[in-house]
Amino acid sequence: MDNFEKYITENKHLFDEHKADKSKIWQAIESELEPPKTIRLWKSPLLKIAASILILVGVFSLTNSFIINGFRSGTQNNIVHQELRDIDTYYKDLVSFQVQLVKNNPKLQPQDKEKFLSFMDELDEEYNILKLEMTKNLNNEYILEAIVNNYKKRIELIENLLKQINDSKKSNNNEGYIL
Amino acid sequence: METNILYTHKDLVEKSKSGDRNSQYRLYELYVDAMYNISMRMLGIKEDAEDIVQDSFVEAFKNLTSFRYESTFGSWLKRIVINKSINYLKLKKIPVTPLDQHEYHIGEEVSEPVKSNDINKVKNAIKILPDGYRQIISLYLIEGYDHIEIAEILGITVSTSKSQYHRAKKKLIEIVNVL
């Protein structure tokens, strides 16, 4: 690079002599962009997951109290109760596994995860309160079966959400801006 | 340190990715003048430069998810503006490289020396350079691209870029000396 070239490159900032008509250009840009995204509660996967967990915890506590009350009411249904408790434990573990998957999901921002975890803590508190409140006996096998089915549906919902997150991650990876 | 530079305005970029209009506007405000000046140097006409800047920001915001901090946001955006400006010139059938004998290579021939270094004279001289010459001088000396990048931008070979640049520089010095 000779002196003339060096002189120009050293003074290149002086070539920025124009001022853009900011408001005019922005107006045009804004009209071409989609309206600002309003985050609707049920559109956010995180809230969907959180809501599902809330329902799950509620259902779980309900089941638990039924089982406890069932035991209190006598020993005639012990085998049935044991079976239901096993099913309950199985689904509880499955749910916590799914929650772990959500926690480990790289698609979610750390602050979102933190929000998610604090939400979970709140739900745990709520669960304890519910457990204390659910002392009335409504021992009915059909209801319990329905509750288990409900569990299954919630898990399915979480699985779908995780799949959606992963799918969107994949599709993001596929799009590249080629210059 | 380099990593820090790549992540300049990361917060604004991330919020803009999720469609936050305020962050988009703040990014726009930070870069609009620089981008407008780049486009003005390429096109030389206020209205055309405004259109290009507008289109570039719209494209940038719409494709922001594909921006992955492989360069700074500024240089990513700048490349969009340059590409759009070049495409616009091609569309208008304005030659982006002068047609005269650009397959002949000019070596490091000694050009006429510059009589005096005066940045205002240089600025005026660049403005009156023929199309093609003006773009290559701007890309190399002001925008800071090397010949490999210029070749890619203009769709020419590296040696054509070099020879065109030398012709353009010779012409620029001639003009500066008569101003």
Residues B71 and B11 grouped into a single domain: yes
Q: Mean pLDDT throughout A103-116?
A: 67
Q: Of B167 and A66, which is predicted with more confidence?
A: B167
Average pLDDT in chain B = 87
pLDDT score of B38: 95
C-alpha span between A18 and A159 (Å, rounded): 54
- Taking CA–CA distances from B165, the nearest residue in chain A reads A5
DSSP string, B88-120: HHHHTT--SS--TTTTS---SPPPPPPS---HH
- In this structure, is residue B158 part of a structural domain? yes
Q: Rounded to a whole number, what is the distance in Å from the CA of A115 to chain B's nearest CA?
A: 17
pLDDT score of A130: 45
C-alpha span between A47 and A64 (Å, rounded): 25
Which stretch of A86-100, B20-34, B82-96, B111-125 has the lowest confidence by average pLDDT? Answer: A86-100
- Taking CA–CA distances from B79, the nearest residue in chain A reads A179
- In this structure, is residue A15 part of a structural domain? no
Q: Mean pLDDT throughout A44-69?
A: 74
- In this structure, is residue B29 part of a structural domain? yes
Provide the pLDDT confidence category of residue B67 given band limits of 50, 70 and 90: very high
| CATH code of the domain covering residue B67 | 1.10.1740.10
Q: Which residues does chain B have within 8 Å of residue A26's beta carbon, measured at their own beta carbons?
A: 25, 28, 32
Residues B130 and B166 grouped into a single domain: yes
| CATH code of the domain covering residue B135 | 1.10.10.10
pLDDT score of A121: 64
- Taking CA–CA distances from B170, the nearest residue in chain A reads A4
Cβ-defined contact of B142 to A177 (cutoff 8 Å)? no
- In this structure, is residue A29 part of a structural domain? no
Residues B52 and B6 grouped into a single domain: yes
Cβ-defined contact of A26 to B41 (cutoff 8 Å)? no
Q: Rounded to a whole number, what is the distance in Å from the CA of A105 to chain B's nearest CA?
A: 18
Provide the pLDDT confidence category of residue B102 given band limits of 50, 70 and 90: very low
Residues B6 and B84 grouped into a single domain: yes
- In this structure, is residue A18 part of a structural domain? no
**Contact yes or no for B177/B115 (Cβ under 8 A):** yes
Cβ-defined contact of A20 to B35 (cutoff 8 Å)? yes
* A131 pLDDT above the threshold of 80: no
- In this structure, is residue B111 part of a structural domain? no
Residues B78 and B124 grouped into a single domain: no
Q: How many domains does chain A have?
A: 1
Q: Hey, how many other C-beta atoms are within 10 angstroms of the C-beta on A16?
A: 15
Angle between helices A22-32 and B46-62 (to 10 degrees): 40
User: What are the tens digits of pLDDT across the range A14-35?
Assistant: 999 899 999 999 999 999 987 7
- In this structure, is residue A20 part of a structural domain? no
C-alpha span between B125 and B17 (Å, rounded): 41
Q: Name residue A69's amino acid.
A: N
Residues B12 and B74 grouped into a single domain: yes
Domain with A150, as residue range(s), is 42-169
C-alpha span between B119 and B112 (Å, rounded): 18
- In this structure, is residue B96 part of a structural domain? no
Residues B43 and B86 grouped into a single domain: yes
Single out the residue in B91, B109, B137 at which a domain terminates.
B91
pLDDT score of A128: 54
- In this structure, is residue B105 part of a structural domain? no
Q: Rounded to a whole number, what is the distance in Å from the CA of B32 to chain A's nearest CA?
A: 7
Domain with B145, as residue range(s), is 119-178
* A63 pLDDT above the threshold of 60: yes
Average pLDDT in chain A = 68
Cα torsion A176, B1, B4, B8 to 10°: value is -90
Provide the pLDDT confidence category of residue B59 given band limits of 50, 70 and 90: very high
- In this structure, is residue A123 part of a structural domain? yes
pLDDT score of B16: 92
- In this structure, is residue B161 part of a structural domain? yes
Q: Rounded to a whole number, what is the distance in Å from the CA of B176 to chain A's nearest CA?
A: 11
- In this structure, is residue B167 part of a structural domain? yes
Cβ-defined contact of B141 to A172 (cutoff 8 Å)? no
Q: How many domains does chain B have?
A: 2
User: What are the tens digits of pLDDT across the range B108-167?
Assistant: 455 567 777 788 889 999 989 988 899 999 999 999 999 999 999 999 999 999 999 999
Q: In a 10 Å sphere around its CB, with 0-12 CB exposed, 13-18 middle and 19+ buried, how is residue B75 labelled?
A: middle
pLDDT score of A135: 42
Provide the pLDDT confidence category of residue A109 given band limits of 50, 70 and 90: low
- In this structure, is residue A155 part of a structural domain? yes
User: What are the tens digits of pLDDT across the range B5-29?
Assistant: 888 888 899 999 988 999 999 999 9
| Distance between first and last Cα of chain A | 27
- In this structure, is residue B100 part of a structural domain? no
Q: Mean pLDDT throughout A1-9?
A: 87
Residues B63 and B142 grouped into a single domain: no
Residue the block writes with tokens 């599709």: A171
pLDDT score of B162: 94
* B60 pLDDT above the threshold of 90: yes
**Structure-token pair, residue B67:** 């921006």
Provide the pLDDT confidence category of residue A139 given band limits of 50, 70 and 90: low
Chains A–B, number of C-beta pairs less than 8 Å apart: 95
- In this structure, is residue A50 part of a structural domain? yes
- In this structure, is residue A177 part of a structural domain? no
- Taking CA–CA distances from B124, the nearest residue in chain A reads A15
pLDDT score of B32: 95
Nearest to A36 among B21, B35, B46 (CB): B21
- Taking CA–CA distances from A19, the nearest residue in chain B reads B33
